[in-house]
């Protein structure tokens, strides 16, 4: 078994020990102001409910939460979730990627992101997206190293008390079907309309 396989575990049944260990990681990250979606340290009950939501999503086979263990203890995690089936069903989002502050520098973030990319790809996703706080240059560099590029910025999209931060949106193209016809943004095609010019 490879080092990667021995460290990575996909969320299955949610037990008390898993909830405690995930709560430990989330609490440590949030306590340092980590940009992972919580402004206050969540309670153990909150994390249990959050994991329950992930467990329900996992059963659809269009989502997954990976847990990274070091010496048997969860030290990092991250999730992916495909869009609702339909026109955007081929797009998946990476979310809640975090590493316990005490184990940063071990390459766990890269392990988590690479694992999420592989699973989303093997599950049929064609395009991955994510959002990262603009001032989180370390995370942005990690995602760029994993093949993501910036496609947009939402100015002042994150509010932390009276501070405002940009949301940087990034994406990575995965495998396209052999019969995919790329239209891009040029005029024509289903749902297209010509430009209108006022006289």
Residue 151 forms part of a structural domain: yes
pLDDT in tens, the chain (199 residues): 345 445 899 999 999 999 999 999 999 999 999 989 999 999 999 999 999 999 999 998 899 999 999 999 999 999 999 988 888 889 999 999 999 999 999 999 999 999 999 999 999 999 999 999 999 999 999 999 999 999 999 999 999 999 999 999 999 999 999 999 898 888 877 888 888 876 5
Is 184 contained in some domain? no
- Calculate ∠ Cα 40-28-120, nearest 5°: 90
Distance CA 124, CA 73 (A): 30
Answer whether residue 33 is part of any domain: yes
Provide the domain limits for residue 9. 3-173
**Residue 27 near residue 43 (C-beta atoms within 8 A):** no
Q: How many domains does the chain have?
A: 1
Does residue 180 belong to any structural domain of this protein? no
Residue 126 sits in a domain of what CATH number?
3.40.630.30
Name 165's bridge partners: 158
Query: Which runs of E-coded beta strand occur in the chain?
Result: 8-10, 63-70, 73-82, 91-99, 127-133, 149-160, 163-173
């Amino acid at each position: 078994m490879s080092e990667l396989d021995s460290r990575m575990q996909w969320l299955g049944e949610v037990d008390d020990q898993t909830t405690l260990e995930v709560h430990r990681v989330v609490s440590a990250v949030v306590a340092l102001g980590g940009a992972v979606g919580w402004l206050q340290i969540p309670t153990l009950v909150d994390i249990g409910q959050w994991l329950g939501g992930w467990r329900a999503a996992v059963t659809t086979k269009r989502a997954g939460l990976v847990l990274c263990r070091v010496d048997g203890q969860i030290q990092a995690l991250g999730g992916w979730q495909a869009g609702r089936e339909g026109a955007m069903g081929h797009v998946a989002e990476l979310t809640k990627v975090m590493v316990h502050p005490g184990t940063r520098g071990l390459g766990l973030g890269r392990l988590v992101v690479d694992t999420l990319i592989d699973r989303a790809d093997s599950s049929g996703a064609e395009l991955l997206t994510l959002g990262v706080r603009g001032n989180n240059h370390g995370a942005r560099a990690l995602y760029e190293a994993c093949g993501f590029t910036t496609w947009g910025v939402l100015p002042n999209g994150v509010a932390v008390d009276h501070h405002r931060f940009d949301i940087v949106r990034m994406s990575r193209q995965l495998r396209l079907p052999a019969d995919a016809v790329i239209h891009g943004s040029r005029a024509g095609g289903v749902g297209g309309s010509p430009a209108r010019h006022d006289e």
